[in-house]
Structure 1
Amino acid sequence: MPFSARAFVLVFAAFCLAQAATAQTRSGTANAKSAATAQTDEPPAMSVTEWLQRMHTGARQRNYVGTFVVSAPGGDLSSARIWHVRDGEHQIERIEALTGPPRSTFRRNRNVMTFLPEAKVVKVEKRENLDLFPNLPDKPDSSIGDFYDVRAIGKDRVAGFDADVVQLVPHDGLRFGYRIWSERRSGLVVKLQTVDSDSRVVEQSAFSELQLDAPVKAQALAQMMSNTAGYRVEKLELERSNAQDEGWTLRTPVAGFKPRSFFRRPTTGDDGGKAKQQDAATVQWTFSDGLASVSLFIERYDPARSPRDGVLTIGATNAIRRRLPEPASDWWLTAVGEVPQQTLNAFAQSLARTR
């Protein structure tokens, strides 16, 4: 999964005040019983790493079907229907867009196929970064606790399910904070708010309807995924590489963000074949702190084709486009991520050509 918290906090505070006033008229025994009950409503005491690992497992281990809605303060709204099933060691997922142009995306482990009915095209690719929340590596990384604190908020209900509500508070301005609603039994993230340094919600996503342990058939999804009759299949060919071989480095690492993958996409030449020059390729260098990810797309600067320098913000996603300064002015950078723009600027200023 790659929430209004103020209203919730106000309601929760009012509830506590009302409970306190009522409790004054009760006996000591009743007060003790009420306190014991209240304690059971609190989220369990766990570290940042433990919370995230629980959510990470919940998103992958359970079968579910639901409608997922993403909204931003500017009025942008999108929704999708999701079918997810775990089949032994495999995960299969179908995501059907309910807003915008028709689109169906199927994923089996890292193999992704996107069906575009209007164009009769299927795009096939392999993804290292599956854009799930939390975006954890296969092995837990305890260093994430160096950049986020976890605070328990309380209990709530989302799509009919009891959820623990916690807040992840960043230690610096290089990353957003998060309010997370985690389904109590499974750990599945059922609602998520991304908040900026002023505690404003910049994006909210949540299940409006959810069926946990739904009878989703892996075979049925796999058959739908393989049915490309009537579609033109376009394979996105990415070659695994590394920054050193491609001639790139970060002079100063951006705190907390670790390299996750590096791919190059060969450019098609005038003859329709792949360009043989290594420098003709567009490369994608991806970083993550376990929650947020940043992708650096680097390509040759073309005055006739490259757009002007600029910035773009959609919900929690920011992007910057710019020509790199000398001595790398022959190159064009597009940096994209669900991070503040100052984080993208830090990557751009640190990026350097080594040859």
Structure 2
Amino acid sequence: MHVSPASRRRLVATVPAALLVLAAAPSLAQPVPPAAAGPGAVAGTPSPVPAPGAGAIDWLRRMHEAARTTEYVGTFVVSTGAGALSSARIWHACEGAVCVERVETLSGPQRSTFRRNELVRTFLPDQRLVKTEQRENLDVFPNLLGATESSIAEFYDARPLGRGRVAGIDTDVVQIVAKDAMRFGYRAWCERRSGLVLKLQTLDARGAVVEQSAFSELQFEEPVPVVALTEMMDNTQGWKAERSKLEPVKPEAEGWALSQPVPGFKPVSSYMRPIGEPKFFFGPRKRILQWTFSDGLATVSLFIEPYGDQVRQEAAQALGATYTLSRRLPDPAGDWWLTAMGEVPPRTLEAFARALVRNR
């Protein structure tokens, strides 16, 4: 089945059934384009280029700040080293503290996803169904979740590579180098005036590109206003509505802990998510624990649920830079099923799986 993982960079991914909960929130951690039009256009608010010898955090903060207020319309394309290709049309507008985004898939199953700040609403035309959920984190690169200057400097370095052009716009090219094998590196093309990321490559330990994302076409003269996108988002008349309510929880209170931390990754959120339909008409829905970690660039989510009576097969999957690991966790009181997912090397997911323990 095709669903869209919330761990950030994939348009469409084939993942285990436990991740069906994420179909309501397809995410795009896209490079964000400039707010001016035309070949060679200059975008956004000027932002000083980091001085020679600046660290990764200086470049990343510049990219992050630039991504917050940009308005644009563009076609976004994701390609993997294995040849998979996905694309979407994106409208992004901001007004004060309100940002609204519309994402229309151009490949794979048809769907339209709107995000207004933390509210996400996905329209599925084939089912005449609209799904709504609340989310805390914006899926832009870099999101710097839980990151401090010292933690970024410990695990990443920056190497300016010169200049380039993307969609007719002049850029500075910088490589974000991972200092260990637990995370990927990145190569980013940043609009020279503002620091907005127009193109992003994810690199493995050998420097090979495992995934690339970029805008192939950009329009900035007349971005769709916030009010127009909001009206489209709120027009649910004639659609069957389904709302997913996330319940914040403490993993320790649910009986879960890590026996040892995975280097660089800190917990950033944990929720109980309802999934599927109740077994009986008035019965409770099945719930799954989502425990999310980040090192400031990469994100890993652990999905934990009772094993149940269905047949499951342990597996490891990859789509571009997103890896998924599924594993049975034996427990005398009843086994559990773990799905670990993130844009990290497989060894990082293995480290999380080995460290996850039941504490009651």
TM-score (norm 1): 0.83
The equivalent residue for 1:149 is 157
Correspondence for 1:231 among 215, 236, 239: 239
Rounded Cα–Cα distance in structure 2 between residues aligned with 1:161 and 1:273: 56
Amino acid at match of 2:295: D
Which has the larger Rg?
A: 1
Shift of 1:269: 4.2
Question: Across the two proteins, how many residue pairs are aligned to each other?
Answer: 312
The equivalent residue for 1:248 is 256
Identity %: 55
121-130 or 201-210, larger mean C-alpha shift: 121-130
* Match status 1:337 vs 2:342: yes
Shift of 1:328: 7.6
Rounded Cα–Cα distance in structure 2 between residues aligned with 1:60 and 1:164: 19
CA shift digits 1:35-68 (9 cap, x unpaired):
xxxxxxx974332112111111111111111111
Correspondence for 1:203 among 201, 211, 228: 211
Correspondence for 1:177 among 182, 185, 188: 185
Rounded Cα–Cα distance in structure 2 between residues aligned with 1:290 and 1:319: 20
Amino acid at match of 1:320: L
Of Structure 1 and Structure 2, the greater helix share is in 1
Shift of 1:135: 2.0
Q: 1:269 to 1:81 in 2, by over 3 A?
A: closer
What is the aligned-residue RMSD (CA, Å)?
A: 2.0
The equivalent residue for 2:137 is 129
Q: 1:139 to 1:213 in 2, by over 3 A?
A: farther
Shift of 1:119: 1.0
The equivalent residue for 1:312 is 317
Is the contact made by 2:110 and 2:124 (CA closer than 8 Å) also made in structure 1? yes
Shift of 1:88: 0.1
Rounded Cα–Cα distance in structure 1 between residues aligned with 2:118 and 2:150: 25
Is the contact made by 2:157 and 2:178 (CA closer than 8 Å) also made in structure 1? yes
Query: Higher relative contact order by CA 8 Å / sep ≥ 6: 1 or 2?
Result: 2
* Match status 1:118 vs 2:126: yes
Rounded Cα–Cα distance in structure 2 between residues aligned with 1:174 and 1:108: 33
Amino acid at match of 2:279: D
Shift of 1:272: 3.0
Amino acid at match of 1:312: Q
Shift of 1:303: 3.7
Is the contact made by 2:185 and 2:204 (CA closer than 8 Å) also made in structure 1? yes
Matches within 5 A, 1:1-355: 2=29, 44-45=51-52, 46-137=54-145, 141-212=149-220, 214-266=222-274, 269-273=278-282, 275=284, 281-305=287-311, 307-326=312-331, 330-355=335-360
Q: 1:322 to 1:341 in 2, by over 3 A?
A: same
Q: 1:237 to 1:129 in 2, by over 3 A?
A: same
TM-score (norm 2): 0.82
